[in-house]
Structure 1
């Protein structure tokens, strides 16, 4: 299922205001709204994956941490440290937003894999690597920029499945695959 954040599609809704696209884009209310949808849609499914790109990756992490069940989270060029992002690009700070690198919520049954493009100038790879080092999660690089991942997605998904399959029930020790992305 594809789930968009609140006010992403129905901008004419009277409850939608500019703050939901700016400094509140990862606000606790946004995260909780997505969490409710994910819980409802996944209650009859044994396996759950949350996959997100860029800001959607940040939300996948924040939602996954609040679930009370096993979940595999895969992100691509995710904004896992929005403070570094706003400072670097000289954007207004996301004052109403949760920041994944500083968020203290933890789901002991959440496994994470974060892909980062080695030439991304929108979300710098070092921010994703810093997040992975802090949280002891797996980061994998790929050749490209912020928007060049779609052609690699089938291989990335296959590789992600193999990583989670090989790790069985271990949340902390995900194996680093060799040559998982085909050119």
Structure 2
């Protein structure tokens, strides 16, 4: 995993003492895509009950999702949004396919105990990368949170809502999917809360922290800051996360004029990927905190 424009994600009163119980080119890329897609299918099949694969045709992109709608009369829906996947294969070379080799958000969705769960991959993931409709490497690098990318996720969710009828949504965003969740929560009227895991919450602060190129083609969460100040939320951070350092979550909560110790839950031995999936049955019992 490269940090450079790859995103996925202080001390807290809620600090848990949980001791923690690259894409290739040419023909190799097709093999990697098939392997990663097969692993995603296996993760979805391992859920209890399993998650079914589906596909959404938004105006700008085709999106892959996995879902379980086990309680049709329950108005609640847990929506998991994937991280950025494989954005770069070296510090200066973009991937031709952002499909993640480890879809952490899907692993979380598979372990989530709610009856109704929807997982959404990001644009161009699991659909062929640059071979997919309207896909360009900008959409997993500088434009990963472009207006049309945010709109595509929102359109897919609207399609799901029209088909199955959920009325109350809680977003769960991993890594870069956290910022996507914040943007969506800031514009929808059916959101009960947002939970982030190793989450990128403010990409301008992130790039400034590391001295990286700004994500100049992307929207940022500060556009919807007034809405976020009133929204129930919880942010899980790993104290060993060097991809999205936990100090950035603290700074973000202060930008919202919310007390970090109320909304941030820090795990002392967690990093950016380890070991969120194995801990999720426990962590998922901690709901968003109301401001």
The two structures have a TM-score, normalised by structure 1, of 0.79
* 1:111-154 alpha-carbon deviations (Å, 9 max, x no partner): 21111111211101111111122222711111211111222211
Give 2:100's aligned residue: none
Alignment of 1:65 with 2:186, yes or no, is yes
| Structure 1, unaligned runs of 5 or more | 165-170, 173-183
Give 2:145's aligned residue: 26
Give 2:173's aligned residue: 52
Give 1:141's aligned residue: 266
Alignment of 1:41 with 2:166, yes or no, is no
Superposed displacement of residue 42, structure 1: 3.1
In structure 2, distance between residues paired with 1:159 and 1:88: 29
Maintained 8 Å contact 2:198/2:236: yes
Give 1:156's aligned residue: 283
3-state SS of paired residue (1:103)? helix
Give 2:125's aligned residue: 8
Q: Which has the larger radius of gyration?
A: 2
Identify which range, 4-13 or 123-132, moves more after superposition.
Answer: 4-13
Give 2:102's aligned residue: none
Maintained 8 Å contact 1:70/1:109: no
Matched positions, count = 163
3-state SS of paired residue (1:66)? coil
Q: Which has the higher contact order (CA 8 A, sep 6+)?
A: 2
Superposed displacement of residue 107, structure 1: 6.3
Structure with the largest fraction of strand: 2
Give 1:167's aligned residue: none
3-state SS of paired residue (1:67)? coil
Structure 1 103/13 Cα, relative in aligned 2: closer, same or farther at 3 Å?
A: same
CA RMSD of aligned residues (A): 2.1
Superposed displacement of residue 46, structure 1: 3.2
Give 1:175's aligned residue: none
The two structures have a TM-score, normalised by structure 2, of 0.52
Maintained 8 Å contact 1:71/1:109: no
Give 2:208's aligned residue: 87
Maintained 8 Å contact 2:179/2:201: yes
In structure 2, distance between residues paired with 1:72 and 1:41: 18
Superposed displacement of residue 110, structure 1: 3.5
In structure 2, distance between residues paired with 1:14 and 1:159: 38
Maintained 8 Å contact 2:187/2:224: no
3-state SS of paired residue (2:282)? helix
Give 1:103's aligned residue: 223
* 1:26-76 alpha-carbon deviations (Å, 9 max, x no partner): 111111111122233235113311111100111111111110223321100
Maintained 8 Å contact 1:35/1:66: no
